Structures are given as C-alpha cells and as structure tokens.
Amino acid sequence: MTSKAQAGTALWAKMPKANAELFALTYGSLVTELVRDYEDPIEVNAQLDRIGHSIGVRCVDEFLSKADVAGMGLSTQCNNLRDTAEVVAKVGFKMFLGVTAEVGGFSQDQRSFS
C-alpha cells in the first residue's frame, strides 16, 4: 500500500460514518422536493448541480483540514495538477468513500484528466 493510500485509510478510520440507507432516503427526498418545486428537469438539474458544487467545496475543505492535521504536507506533495489529482484519488476518495480511484487520461496541456 502506498503512503497516500495508507494516509487515506487512516483518515477513513477517523471519519464518522453515515448509514447508507438513511443517506439514500434523504437524497431521494431532496430530489423529490426539487422536482415538485421546479417541475422543469433542466432547472432541477441546475439546482442539483449547485447543491453538488456546495457539497464538493465542503468536502475539499474538510479533506484539506483533516489531511493537514494528519501531517501529510500537501503543500509539498501537490506541485501540479497530476500530483493533486493523485492525492485526491488516493487520499480524498478513501477518506470519504472508503475506496481509491485511478487517475489517467491527462490532456496534452496537463490541464484536465479523466
């Protein structure tokens, strides 16, 4: 296991866990309410995108604060987008979801990946 994966595992162990069934029901209720409020699928998707963005920002903030506390030294590990993507894939995904991800498919200019 790489040091990034080990750090992700350590952070995963410290994170409070949510019941998956409760999460699914809550999310389903949110989507149902948005459909009732907006009726237009395009507007519902726009609202879900806005909510997802806000959640993502909070996850990044939480990740950075927890990783800093864990002494990962992210400022020295993330010198470019490739390094940052690798840390997010190995540590961030593990921290919140309990899984790691593979990063690849970088564009020629190294500004995007899949």
pLDDT for the residue numbered 47: 95
| Residue with the two structure tokens 């879900």 | 48
pLDDT for the residue numbered 112: 85
pLDDT for the residue numbered 77: 67
Q: What amino acid occupies position 36?
A: R
pLDDT along the chain (114 residues), means of 10: 69 73 88 93 95 88 74 66 83 81 88 83
Query: How distant, in Å, are the alpha carbons of 30, 41, 53, 64 from that of 44?
Result: 11, 5, 14, 30
pLDDT for the residue numbered 72: 64
Return all residues near 18 (Cβ < 8 A) that are at least 6 apart: none
pLDDT for the residue numbered 75: 54
Give the residue among 101, 99, 96, 102 at the shortest CA–CA distance from 11.
96
CB 26 within 8 A of CB 78: no
Q: What amino acid occupies position 25?
A: L
pLDDT for the residue numbered 90: 80
What DSSP character marks residue 66? H
pLDDT for the residue numbered 29: 94
